[in-house]
A and B are shown apart, each in its own frame.
Chain A
Amino acid sequence: MMNFYAIRAIYLHEMDRMRRTIGQSILSPVISTSLYFIVFGSVIGGMIPELDGVSYGSFIVPGLLMLTLLTQSISNSAFGIFFPKFTGSVYEVLAAPISSLEIIIGFVGASASKSLIVGIIILITASFFVELEIQYPFLMFFLLVLTCLTFSLFGFLIGLLSNNFEQLQVVPLIIITPLVFLGGSLYTIEMLPEFWQKVSYFNPVVYLINGMRWSFYGSSDISILISVLSLVAFLLACIIGVAIVISKGYGVKN
Chain B
Amino acid sequence: MKNIVSIKNLSKTYDNNFQALKDINLDIKKDEIIALLGPNGAGKTTLISIICGIVIPTSGSVSVDDFDIIKDYRKTRSQIGLVPQELTLEQFEFVFNNVSYTRGLYGKPPDPSLIEKILKDLSLWDKRNSRINELSGGMKRRVLIAKALSHEPSVLFLDEPSAGVDVELRQEMWEVIKDLRNSGVTIILTTHYIEEAEAIADRVAVINKGELLIVDNTSDLVQSMGQKTLIIDLHDAVDSLPTKLDNYNLKVLNNGLSVSYDYDSKSKQTGITSLLQDMKESGLKLKDINTEQSSLENIFVELVREK
Contacts and interface: CB of A to CB of B under 8 A. Distances in A.
Interface of A: 3-6, 8-10, 12-13, 16, 20, 83-84, 87-89, 91-98, 249, 252-254
Given A3-B74, A92-B147, A9 B55 contact: no
Given A20-B92, A253-B55, A95 B15 contact: no
Interface string B11-51: 00011000000000000000000000000000000000000
B107 interface: yes
Interface in B96-116: 97, 101-109
Contact of A254 (B15, B91, B106): B15
Contact of B54 (A3, A5, A6, A91): A91
A95 B53 contact: yes
Given A94-B53, A95-B82, A254-B15, A16 B97 contact: yes
A249 B14 CA distance: 11
B146 interface: no
Contact of B106 (A13, A91, A97, A249): A97
Name A's interface SS. Answer: helix
Contact of A249 (B56, B105, B109): B56
Interface of B: 14-15, 52-56, 73-78, 80, 82, 84, 86, 88-92, 97, 101-109, 147
Contact of B52 (A9, A88, A95): A95
A233 to B, nearest CB: 31
Contacts of B52: 91, 95
Nearest to B131: A20
A3 B107 contact: yes
Contact of A89 (B56, B77, B90, B107): B90
Contacts of B54: 91, 94-95, 252-253
B102 A92 contact: yes
Contacts of A253: 54-56
Contacts of A20: 92
B105 A93 contact: yes
Contacts of B106: 5-6, 96-97
